[in-house]
Amino acid sequence: MEKFEKITGIAAPMPLVNIDTDMIIPKVFLKTIKRSGLGVNLFDEMRYDRQGNEIPDFVLNKPQYREARILVAGDNFGCGSSREHAPWALADFGIKVIVSTSFADIFFNNCFKNGMLPVILPQDQVDLLMKDAEKGANARMTVDLQAQEITTSDGTVIPFEVDAFKKHCLLNGLDDIGLTLEKATAIDRFETMSAQSRPWV
């Protein structure tokens, strides 16, 4: 997995609440057997008309946000299905950080598996970042995972919480499966014990 340490970039504002995974990547794009190339279809039904033309009003189509690397979003971002295509599409577009007051559980976990950082902050701080993001391309934010801080374009520093283990994996680009396989003996032991206590499983 790609390491995540610190990024500086444009933040795009999407204040809508309950942005679901069907919005992030509609199901027609789930038919792929690959992980790559989904960025062009990120937010497809909000971003393009039926003829495939860009809808100019959509935030990521605006000239100042086309290179966005951070998304500041409304409450309950990523609700809905378990499709990892949602974080794949965001990452492929270039968005590595999403800030919101809350995230749906599966989406939240999926982000960490793909070198992405979802940040949960209280409403007033999300509002502050939303205002900063609304300034456009000149307002670049910095997200520093090691320091657990977001710095706005005017230098305001907002600290954030992150799970220690997930932080460690992101900073070092660690592969979960490799880490778990180091515990193979414990898994073997559990299976032996379980075969005794719950033989019907």
Partner 1 sequence: MSPKTLYDKIWDAHLVDQQDDGTCLLYIDRHLVHEVTSPQAFEGLRLSGRKVRAPEKTIAVPDHNVPTTLDRAKGIENEESRIQVEALDRNARDFGVHYYPVSDIRQGIVHIVGPEQGWTLPGMTVVCGDSHTATHGAFGALAHGIGTSEVEHVLATQTLIQKKSKNMKVEITGRLRPGVTAKDITLSVIGATGTAGGTGHVIEYCGQAIRDLSMEGRMTVCNMAIEGGARAGLIAPDETTFAYVKGRPHAPKGAQWEAAVNWWKTLKSDDGAHWDKVVTLKGEDIAPVVTWGTSPEDVLPITGTVPSPSDFKGGKVEAAQRALDYMGLTPGQKLTDIAIDTVFIGSCTNGRIEDLRAAAAILKGRKIKEGLRAMVVPGSGLVRAQAEEEGIAQIFIDAGFDWRLAGCSMCLAMNPDQLGEYERCASTSNRNFEGRQGYKGRTHLVSPAMAAAAAITGHLTDVREMMAETA
The residues that touch partner 1, with contacts defined as CB under 8 A, are 15-18, 20, 22-23, 26-28, 30-35, 45, 50, 74-76, 79-84, 87, 102-106, 109-110, 113-114, 163-165, 176-177, 179-181, 183-184, 186-187, 190-191, 194, 198-201
Angle between helices 164-172 and 105-112 (to 10 degrees): 40
Specify the residue, 110 or 152, whose C-beta has the smaller distance to partner 1: 110
Q: Which two tokens stand for residue 97?
A: 């950080």
Q: Which is nearer to partner 1, 75 or 134 (CB)?
A: 75
Smallest distance from the beta carbon of 60 to partner 1, in angstroms? 17
- Nearest distance from residue 147's CB to partner 1, in Å? 19
Q: Which of 156/165 has CB closer to partner 1?
A: 165
Min dist CB 142 to partner 1, Å, is: 26
Per-residue b or e along 41-63, where b marks 16 or more CB atoms closer than 10 Å to that residue's CB: bbbbebbbeeeeeeeeeebbbee
CA distance 193 to 186: 11
Give the C-alpha separation, 49 to 28, whole Å: 15
**Nearest to partner 1 of 65, 103 (CB atom):** 103
Q: What is the rounded CA–CA span in Å between residue 107 and residue 20?
A: 10
Tell me how far, at minimum, the Cβ of 58 lies from partner 1, in Å.
13
Closest CB to partner 1 among 76 and 151? Answer: 76
- Residue 177 DSSP SS3: helix
Strands 70-73, 97-100: pairing kind: parallel
CB-count exposure of residue 68 (10 Å: 0-12, 13-18, 19+): buried
Distance in Å, CB of 125 to partner 1, minimum: 15
CB of 174 to partner 1, least distance (A): 11
Q: What's 76-88 look like in SS3?
A: CECECCCCCHHHH
Pick 5 or 176: Cβ nearer partner 1 = 176
